[in-house]
Amino acid sequence: MSEPKLYKNLINGQWVESATGRTFENRNPADTRDVVGVFQDSDERDVRAAVEAAQRAYTTWRLVPAPKRGEILFKAAQLLVERKEQYARDMTREMGKVLAETRGDVQEAIDMCFFMAGEGRRLYGQTTPSEMPNKFQMSVRQPLGVCGLITPWNFPMAIPSWKILPALLVGNTVVIKPASDTPLSVLNLVQCLLDAGVPDGAINIVTGSGSKVGEPLMRHPDVKVISFTGSTEVGSRVARVGAEGMKHVSLEMGGKNPMIVMDDANLDLVVEGALWGAFGTSGQRCTATSRLIAHRAIVGELTERLGDRAERLVIGNGLEPTTQMGPSINQAQLETVMEYVRVGQSEGARLVCGGLRLNEGALGHGYFHQPTIFTDVKRSMRIAQEESFGPVL
């Protein structure tokens, strides 16, 4: 096998090694023998260099007319369309979800590029009547400066696109720390932006841990905006840090979403929706259907049908066309899922199906867990209140 590719940080338009000289491996969660790439294990020195580059670029990027910035994003969208299949396959290798999902992930970035491109001609201000004579009142939109973006691994191109593209469109510059489990998808997205004409320093990438990269990024005095997607625990910390620095903060955190099914529902549609909601992306979504609240008149039939379908889902490598559900992202997340299954059983919930790690044959090199359904769940139970972030309904 060939040596895995070495990827570098992007600072001021240059691909550079980290100041630490250290790297980390990005491995396929469906087959840990497959090294997707080697990435920079950075620290606060790299963050400082990236923020300084973004601050310098801001002085000129903010003066580019917004319609022209939109035209660059339109070109990036066209490049994403051309590269969609390769980027989807890269994402499946590094994140694990099936190709149908990763193609959708890339498509979200494409759609966001086209959407923001159009917004370049719609950055309207306001005019309002004045209460004073001979006065004219108007407002205009102004960029804020350097934006620090911290993104998760479950939607590794879609979520970065939601943050990067609006920031660039309105004239801000960006430093992004992608999730260490899925940095390649962010690099792929940014490569399209560079190829489309985003100038040096307007967007910068620093890979590494939350403590060594994320923390100094959100504390840097020149970072005016922090946008974070991830756990509620970390998000609350980001909010405190942002408040201390009087920064603009955007947070997207966890959830425990219920599907509510009444007695007149079409159960064929319910089963399809619940299976996708609970087990799509292996349950690794803040929008996952982790609870189902069913009318007592149909709960028995619905539980039986869901259990039967869940047991027949095809689990495996997402690159295989027949696979319907992939692995957990890493060992720690798999262990979290297994712990919540144990907790559910200890609390007295009844296991309908699943409940076990899958580690035989081809699955033995990945982080696979059976689709799992509990019933007789009380609202006071931990599994009804806490986010397992796994294939547990």
Which tokens in the block code for residue 233? 């625990």
The yes-or-no answer on residue 252 being catalytic is yes
Which tokens in the block code for residue 330? 């890493």
Alpha helices (H) along 29-135: 44-61, 66-95, 99-119
Q: Establish whether domains 9-252 and 257-385 are of one fold.
A: no
In this structure, what DSSP letter does residue 299 have? H
The yes-or-no answer on residue 82 being catalytic is no
Are 42 and 206 spatial neighbours (Cβ–Cβ below 8 Å)?
yes
CATH top class, domain 257-385:
alpha beta
Q: Domain map of the chain by residue range?
A: 9-252, 257-385
pTM here is 0.95
Which tokens in the block code for residue 237? 């910390």
β-bridge pairing 14-16 and 9-11: antiparallel
Distance CA 213, CA 179 (A): 11
Which tokens in the block code for residue 242? 């942002």
Q: What pLDDT is attached to residue 245?
A: 95
Please give the backbone phi and psi of residue 26, each rounded to the nearest 5 degrees, phi first. Answer: -110, 110
What's the CATH architecture for 9-252?
Answer: 3-Layer(aba) Sandwich (3.40)
Q: Please count the residues of the chain.
A: 393
Q: What pLDDT is attached to residue 58?
A: 98
Measured CA to CA in angstroms, residue 157 lies from 112, 118, 275, 332, 368 at distances of 11, 20, 24, 22, 23
**pLDDT tens, per residue, the chain with 393 residues:** 578 999 999 999 999 999 999 999 999 999 999 999 999 999 999 999 999 999 999 999 999 999 999 999 999 999 999 999 999 999 999 999 999 999 999 999 999 999 999 999 999 999 999 999 999 999 999 999 999 999 999 999 999 999 999 999 999 999 999 999 999 999 999 999 999 999 999 999 999 999 999 999 999 999 999 999 999 999 999 999 999 999 999 999 999 999 999 999 999 999 999 999 999 999 999 999 999 999 999 999 999 999 999 999 999 999 999 999 999 999 999 999 999 999 999 999 999 999 999 999 989 999 999 999 999 999 999 999 999 999 999
Catalytic site residue from 215, 286, 353, 387: 286
Single-letter amino acid code for the residue at 73 = L
Q: What pLDDT is attached to residue 3?
A: 87
Place of tokens 């890339």: 106
Catalytic site residue from 252, 320, 335, 347: 252
